[in-house]
Amino acid sequence: MEGGYIFDEKDRHNAFISTLDLALFETNGGPLEGIAVAVKDNISTAGMPTTCASRILEGYVPPYDAHVVTLLRQAGAAIVGKTNMDEFGMGTTTENSAFGPTTNPVDPGRVPGGSSGGSAAAVASGMVDMALGSDTGGSIRCPAAFCGVVGLKPTFGRVSRYGLIAYSNSLEQIGPLGKTVTDVNTLMSVIAGPDARDSTTYDRPYDHTPDPDVKGLRIAVPEEFFGEGVDPAVSAKVQNAIATLEGLGAETIECSIPSMTYALAAYYVTCTSEASSNLARFDGVRYGPEVPAVRSWHDEFKTYRGERFGKEVQRRILLGTFALSAGYYGKYYAKAQVARENVRRDFIRVLKDTDVIAGPTMPSIAFHLGEKSDPLSMYLADILTVPANLAGVPAISVPCGTVDRMPVGLQIIGPHFADEKVMDVAYAFEQEVA
């Protein structure tokens, strides 16, 4: 049996790239039956355009569903549309979209964060109940924090990436966004689990009911998460939130993650390197707007890619190409992999004696539209989210108050496969402040 969800919301925040007026869904008693779910536009949907917010994928309609989309359909979800994003996931604001920026539902003069800004805005504005995003270096958690919703980046390998248009394969995960921890928990239980088509997935299904009991929980608080570059007002809000958890019986332990010094550089070298290779296939031959066949292929590809990729995408492709090139591989790519391993070991070390790490999701509240124009200063905003991607550990962002009427996110990071634990801590906090 099939049901139909009529989607007639006004998209005031440009949260969607494409929508369906009538989204069909299976009426099979699944956990998401009849629930409107939005899907980030870098996740393949058979028969629905999937553009990654790029002119280079204009008109592309995948002939197959991403694994998570198959799971959503099986769970009875009504997939109502594809959400706006930074082109190929490359950005922290959702301003780098060929379809124009998404605005923050809390303050339309500000960005919703990125790159899953459309998904966060669609949830925050109440257009949908839940949404899927993808998180390469904070792309779920940052917009969740900026828009005041909940977002989880799962443990690497817990959710299949099959059908996610790759930006940086070794770092990214698809994850859920929702208004509440319970919604995020429900969506996570639908999408997690092994998939033979993604060789990097683990046989770790997710079947969990959040437990708000945090008595005796040991929370590590790294000094680096409250250091230079973090807005003191944001720090204070997050410290308050941690104190709330202490009030519920948790204890805090101060710690240090020395590899944070070079984590951001390791992240950008890795993601741009992988991106330079992942995005090389966009040449207009097999899909996307057709490449002309007038001049020789090299000239045609160059012009096509120069015209259709946005500037930030071009910048990252070039950076990655450079980082992998002969003579620079050792200095950049190889070094970044060692740095990454150090970050992973630091997290494992800290989380051996503690249960979770807590800190701010973002060092500031949402920027004003157009506020950040310099690439490097934009990259620096990711400093608190990228470590979890480098380490492959789960991390959740849950709203913990406002600064200047803008939401602030509390980030809870757990050890590998402790997605349930970070969910519990976020749930405990949410229930306490609700």
Partner 1 sequence: MDHDQQVIIGLEIHCQLKTKTKLFCGCSADFQGAPPNTHCCPICLGLPGAMPRLNKQAVIYALKVAKALNLEVPEYSEFSRKNYFYPDLPKAYQISQYDKPIAEKGYLEIEDDEGHTKIVRITRIHLEEDPGRLVHKTGRDRAGYSLVDYNRSSIPLIEIVTEPDLRSPKEARRFLNKLRSTLEYLEVFDGEREGSIRVDANISIKGHNRVECKNISSYKGVEKALNFEITRQRNLIRRGQYITRETRHFMEGRGITTSSRSKEEENDYRYFPEPDLRPLRVRSWLDDVELPELPDARRDRFMRDYGISVNHARTLTGDLKVANFYEQIAGVDPKLAATWVADILLGELNYRSMKIDQVPPINIGDLIALIRDDAITDKSGVEVMRTMLDHCLNDEDCPMPADIVEETGLAKVKGGEFDAIIASVVEANPQAVSDYLAGKKGALNFLVGQVMKETRGRADPKVLNAQMSTYLDTLEV
Partner 2 sequence: MVNESDVEIIAKLADISISKDELGAFTSQFNEILEYFDILDQVPPGEEGMPDLENVLREDVVTPSLSQEEATANAGETEDGFIRAPKVM
Nearer to partner 1, 56 or 241 (CB): 56
The interface mask with partner 2, positions 288-327, x = CB under 8 A, is xxxxxxxxxxxxxxxx-xx--x-x--xx-xxx-xx--x--
- CA–CA distance, 412 with 399 (Å, rounded to integer): 11
The answer to the question of residue 50 lying near partner 2 (CB under 8 A) is: no
Q: Which does 274 bind (CB under 5 to 8 A by kind): partner 1, partner 2, none?
A: partner 1
Question: Which listed residue (10, 196, 207, 327) binds partner 2 by CB under 8 A?
Answer: 196
Least separation in angstroms between residue 275's CB and partner 1 is: 11
- Both structure tokens of 76: 């009875």
Q: Which is nearer to partner 1, 290 or 353 (CB)?
A: 290
By CB under 8 A, tell whether 342 contacts partner 2. Answer: yes
Tell which phi-psi region holds residue 53, choosing left (phi > 0), alpha (psi between -120 and 50) or beta. left
Contacting partner 2 (CB under 8 A), which of 9, 204, 212, 287? Answer: 287
Q: How far is the CB of 280 from partner 1 (least distance, A)?
A: 3
CB of 309 to partner 1, least distance (A): 14
Count the residues in the chain: 434
**Spatial separation of the C-alpha atoms in residues 128 and 35, rounded to whole Å:** 8
- Active-site residues, by number, are 40, 115, 139
What is the dihedral sign for C-alpha 365, 369, 373, 375? positive
The residues pairing with 164 across neighbouring beta strands, listed in sequence order, are 43
Is 374:115 a contact under the CB 8 Å cutoff?
A: no
φ, ψ of residue 53 to 5 degrees: the values are: 55, 35
Over the window 252 to 271, marking each residue x when it contacts partner 2 by CB under 8 A and - when it does not, the resulting string is: ---------xx--xx-xx--
17 closest CA partner among 161, 108, 125, 116? 116
Residue 124 found at the interface with partner 2 (CB under 8 A): no
Q: Nearer Cβ to partner 1, position 286 or 352?
A: 286
- Read off the DSSP letter of residue 333: I
Q: Which of 140, 37, 11 is nearest to 86 (CA)?
A: 140
Q: How far is CA 395 from CA 48, 128, 415, in A?
A: 30, 23, 9
Residues within the interface to partner 2 (CB under 8 A): 59-61, 63, 157, 196, 199-200, 202, 261-262, 265-266, 268-269, 276, 280, 283-303, 305-306, 309, 311, 314-315, 317-319, 321-322, 325, 331-332, 334-342, 344, 374-376, 379
